[in-house]
Structure 1
Amino acid sequence: MKMFDTVTQKLRDSRKIVFVTGAGISQESGIPTFRGKDGHWRKHDPMKLASIDAFYDDPKLVWEWYEDRRKNILAAKPNEGHFAISEMEKFKDVVVLTQNIDGLHQRSGSTNVLELHGSIIRIKCTVCNFSDNITENFESLPPKCECGNMLRPDVVWFGEALPQDVWKNAMKEASTCDIMIIAGTSLVVSPANTLPVYAKQNGATLIEVNPEKTVMSNDMDLSIQATSANALLRIISILKNE
């Protein structure tokens, strides 16, 4: 297919590839998306549960939802799309900027991952500076910090700013890549949707991988309408067989 030949040639000539990934690549591992048809939980709208207001209105309900999600995520496995991205590290300088909170990129072997929206397997205190990975089930919800205040999932909720150190590094990586591959995301969430702008200002080639056209498709240099697993597996197989 000519499209893949073009993509492969650009990858071959590149030095640094930045991936921007979203819910679509995780959905291929069986993790539901917020906006998808299965994006409802006990008749609650996850778009409303994932907010600081919802947390303080009903912290137990929000924690129950996140515990359900965490169990599903820990039971999921990285798919061929994740593994294709980690495999590319053998050939190129690869950085992953992900909107996902599931840790599947790291579990597939990617070593340079910036989690724009945090991680579901980390917790932090609502008051003090405590943060840590979740290593066991909580006896009661919401869990309490040693300082006596509530703990919360270490994720970015709607209306909250991204961690500034992570976002600063993400902008730097986007501004210094030769190729940016946007995989499994329609990039409707700000400020992640500005990352292609930083890449383009550096003269990078923008490649979109998504089964459907998105609002960003017309701004791409190349748009591959396929799932991340199928498209990225094909690209890495071509690179490996050169």
Structure 2
Amino acid sequence: MEKRLVVLSGAGMSAESGIQTFRDAGGLWEGHDVMEVASPEGWKKNKELVLDFYNQRRRQLLTCEPNEAHLLLAELEQYYNTTIVTQNVDDLHERAGSSHIIHLHGELLKVRSVQNSKLIYPWSKDLHNTDINDLGHKLRPHIVWFGEMVPELENAVSYVKKADIIIIIGTSMQVYPAASLIHYAKPNALAYYIDTNPAIINQTPCKINIIAEKASIGLKSIINDLKNNSQ
């Protein structure tokens, strides 16, 4: 039976593609307080600021390409039943060829109705406050902001619970509820944590092998073992 691999990826996964990580040491995101551009309160306070922020992120994303780490994970689909659970809002996993991706925090290349969160649309251009859907609803970025529910969380948990192998990659393990996912692992799961500055994770059900490297180097160091262990 094909083994199940779950990847939990964060901002460090896309850093090698030139996408800036979530926020710098000062807690700012591109010079903004995170709550100004990533919370329902920030949206209510200044929609133009929030729209401009995500328009800039979207434009930047369209100039970036998947990096070696994205491509290596896509290649593992040949060996494992692979699910990628990502905190990233970019589409680089998709562009690298991975076929089953759960976006916990939404997607930059999608927008949704402010009146019905299930009405989601592909979107690759700038979003303006005057844009509406065919029902006349205004649109907002399809991003899970601080303080909002994470709709895909239970789906992600169901895959982590069944995983034979888990790779945590490029995440500080500080953003909840995403950081809690590893605690649903099976006790006998084989787990790796690849990050340039790995956090200390306490009381996990399974043992975690820590690799203090950037995403591509860390993955290259275990890729042959993963391929050989797939049977």
Q: Does TM, scored on the shorter chain, surpass 0.5? A: yes
Secondary structure at the counterpart of residue 188 of structure 2: coil
CA offsets, 1:140-185, max 9 Å, x none? 435333333321011100000111xx22221110000111110000
Measured in 1, the distance between the counterparts of 2:6 and 2:153 equals 14
**Do the aligned residues in 1 keep the contact of 2:10 with 2:170 (CA within 8 Å)?**
yes
Matched length: 225
What is the percentage of aligned positions where both structures have the same residue?
Answer: 33
Instruction: Output the CA distance in 2 between the equivalents of 1:171 and 1:161.
Output: 15
Structure 1, unmatched stretches of 5+, are 1-13
State the partner residue of 1:168: 154
In the alignment, is residue 177 of structure 1 matched against residue 190 of structure 2? no
Distance 1:126 1:170, change over 3 A: same
> Secondary structure of the residue that 1:216 maps to in structure 2?
coil
Counterpart code for 2:174? V
Task: Give SS of 1:75's match.
Answer: coil
Matched, 1:23 2:2: no
Task: Give the TM-score of the pair, scaled to structure 1.
Answer: 0.84
Out of 112, 132, 156, the residue aligned to residue 124 of structure 1 is 112
Q: Does 1:232 find its partner at 2:219?
A: yes
Q: How far has the Cα of 1:231 moved from its partner?
A: 1.4
Distance 2:35 2:44 in 1: 15
Matches within 5 A, 1:1-242: 15-36=3-24, 40-41=29-30, 43-128=31-116, 129-138=118-127, 140-141=128-129, 143-163=131-151, 166-200=152-186, 202-216=187-201, 219=204, 220-237=207-224
Aligned-pair Cα RMSD in Å: 2.4
* Alignment check: 8 A CA contact 2:129 2:138 kept: no
What's the CA shift string for 1:93-117, capped at 9, x where partnerless? 1111100000110110001111111
Aligned equivalents of 2:199 and 2:212: distance in 1? 10
- Structure 2 alignment gaps of length 5 or more: none
* Higher helix residue share: 1
Alpha-carbon distance, 1:221 to partner:
2.4
